[in-house]
Chain A
Amino acid sequence: MIRLENIEKVYRTDTVETLAINGINLHVQKGEFLSIMGPSGCGKSTLLNIMGLLDEPSRGQIKIDNQDISRYSDKQMANFRNEKLGFIFQSYHLINDLQVLDNVELPLLYRNSSSQSRRALATAALEKVGLSNRTKHFPTQLSGGQRQRVAIARAIVGQPQIILADEPTGNLDSAMGNEIMDILINLNKNEGTTIVMVTHDESMAQKTHRLVRLFDGSQVQ
């Protein structure tokens, strides 16, 4: 599903050059639930961003669904992200000026869909994460766990084949974290969604199919 070949990422600022990713080869199978672990600053988020086409590697190739992404235009990349990928972030990244339902609908606005079908899909997604009773709330009126569930609903509303989650439980207590984890596991099991998750929590990582450990930009396991 996702194939990374010899990926390197160098961040250059005026004074320093940081090698964030150093020659990573990784193949994520379709339907796999993969977790990535490693110390802070080892390049986990960078790797996830590269998989999500949010960031370009300095060297190497990414193939998703056997398509070479490097030749894509900005517009094609955007469409690709919209249709195939769903993102979940540690800090939720909800739009505070929009109600929960509107936040969840957001990805559908960037494709052709009627407002009724958007509404229906968003309502269904919120139901899946157990938040159907909070659709008219604003994100600031929700708890951290609820916000993360809204973010998950937003990630799944477009029925993507791949979900990229960067520390989705990092800001939550373990009960909340488990709840989120259950949602992801069910998604993977029932819908066959491929999931790549960055986590700091060993017990969460144990629940996934495969664990990849990074150290200083390289894969160690």
Chain B
Amino acid sequence: MFKHLYKLMWNKRKQNFLLLSEILVSFLVIFALFSFLVYYFQNYQKPKGLDYERVWTVSYDNRQVSKQLDSARLFYDDLERSLKAMPQIREVAYTSANFPYSQSVMNTNVSLGDKVINSVNRYVSGIDYHKVLQMNLTEGRWFYPEDAAAAIKPIVINETLKAEAFGKQSAVGRLFDNHDKTSRRRIVGVVQDVKVEGDYLPSGKAMYTPLDTTDIKWNSFILLKVTEAADANFEGKLYKYLGQRFNNERVEITYMKDLRTAKNEVTLIPMIIFMIVAGFLIINVALGLFGVLWYNINRRRSEIGLRRAIGASSTSVSGQLVSESLILATLSIIVGCFFALQFPLLHVFDVAANVYLYAILLTVLFIYLLVIACSVYPGKQAAAIHPATALHEE
């Protein structure tokens, strides 16, 4: 029976061409949608790698800070001590502008012998940075103040960078050259990935370098972990205090959890719009499919009557119509899969192959369900056709 229906569908391929291409287009759109959703979902399931609750980010204007290295260092050490002395503040760390959920990135590359690793986000971080954000060390340690004296400067890297550079081997003690091989850095620790772009995007490769002499003169951000006692009143006082220390009013305090929400929205809102658009497209395709099947049944009344006369039961007639739609769907799906498989095969985007494979699987399932949903009712209707009447009509 399958071969028979396949032959019938194949002989009618010209009539069914529009329907086939409609299903193909919806396959591709739904595949794109599911690829995003699977990608976001997989990222969402990974740990955040930090605790953003009660983390305040402070930005300030450093114009009034001495550009003399020693006095700058003295100023910042003193400021850090004073802040930490406040009962509402638990931890303090200086940071470059690219702290988690910020708008900045600082891309660099590192070399490991002949191998160059690109797109490594470099985070300049104070001594207590990992404490402010409650990051999880998986190997080695964070920086010590004594590291400042070391001949080779220390760095901490994240797991993604470790995996790319060393695979499953240990990273601690290994050396990275910087991009032009003028200096080297020693890896002292590995931290769990921090999803700096929000909950739905990957962390990327990261390396954390201590705030050193050149960075300190230009620093203009502080991260604070505050206690529950840090209320609006305290925020006001802190704002005033920092204004005095930096000698200007251009101080800004933001909550990291708000930054995270904003980041997530940037990912989710386009996705929701995409889903709405895709939803309309699917409704359109579903109505089209339903209409075509309905129309086909009316055009094929005498064929249906004939099949009943020669031995088809009413259930086998409705089964036939559903199977025909499934065969059409399968033809479109085969073509769709051919296109969809190019993404993992050609590695078009930097996304794991399994994202696409799951997306293909979900899309195939979705298309079949859609087609079944659209053909069950017309199929039932066809089964109700009275054979004598249908044969009589022609």
Residues on A facing B (Cβ under 8 Å): 45-46, 49, 52, 54-55, 74-75, 77-79, 81-83, 87, 89, 91, 93, 95, 97-99, 102, 105-107, 109-111, 115, 154, 158
> Does more than half of chain A's interface fall in helix, strand or loop, or is it mixed?
helix
The interface residues of chain B lying within 8 Å CB-to-CB of A82 are 310-311
Q: With A52-B309, A54-B391, A93-B391 in contact, is A78–B316 under 8 Å at CB?
A: yes
Closest to A81 in B: B311
Closest to B394 in A: A91
Inter-subunit contact A93/B306 (CB<8 Å): yes
Inter-subunit contact B307/A106 (CB<8 Å): yes
Q: With A49-B388, A98-B8, A102-B7 in contact, is A75–B311 under 8 Å at CB?
A: no
Interface residues in B, total, Cβ within 8 A:
27
Interface centre among B11, B309, B313, by most chain A C-beta atoms within 10 angstroms, is B309
Shortest CB-to-CB span from A156 to chain B, Å, is: 12
Contact residues, B312-370 vs A (CB, 8 A): 312-316
Contact partner of A55 (CB less than 8 A), chosen from B302, B303, B316, B388, is: B388
Inter-subunit contact A102/B4 (CB<8 Å): yes
Q: With A55-B388, A97-B12 in contact, is A154–B310 under 8 Å at CB?
A: yes
Q: Is B122 an interface residue (CB 8 A)?
A: no
Q: Is B115 an interface residue (CB 8 A)?
A: no
The interface residues of chain B lying within 8 Å CB-to-CB of A46 are 388
The interface residues of chain B lying within 8 Å CB-to-CB of A93 are 302-303, 305-306, 309, 391, 394
Docked Cα-Cα span, A89 to B309, in Å, equals 11
Docked Cα-Cα span, A28 to B7, in Å, equals 39
The interface residues of chain B lying within 8 Å CB-to-CB of A79 are 311, 313
Given A82-B311, A98-B7, list of 4 further CB < 8 A pairs? A54-B391, A87-B309, A99-B11, A105-B4
Docked Cα-Cα span, A35 to B357, in Å, equals 65
Inter-subunit contact B4/A109 (CB<8 Å): yes
The interface residues of chain A lying within 8 Å CB-to-CB of B81 are none
The interface residues of chain A lying within 8 Å CB-to-CB of B315 are 74-75
Inter-subunit contact B7/A87 (CB<8 Å): no
Inter-subunit contact B310/A95 (CB<8 Å): no
Docked Cα-Cα span, A81 to B8, in Å, equals 23
Shortest CB-to-CB span from B201 to chain A, Å, is: 51
Inter-subunit contact B306/A45 (CB<8 Å): no
Docked Cα-Cα span, A98 to B309, in Å, equals 17
Docked Cα-Cα span, A87 to B316, in Å, equals 19
| 6 examples of A-B residue contacts, CB within 8 angstroms | A54-B309, A55-B387, A75-B313, A81-B308, A89-B391, A158-B310
Closest to B1 in A: A109
Q: With A54-B308, A93-B302, A154-B310 in contact, is A110–B316 under 8 Å at CB?
A: yes
Shortest CB-to-CB span from A121 to chain B, Å, is: 14
Inter-subunit contact A78/B306 (CB<8 Å): no
Docked Cα-Cα span, A77 to B310, in Å, equals 10
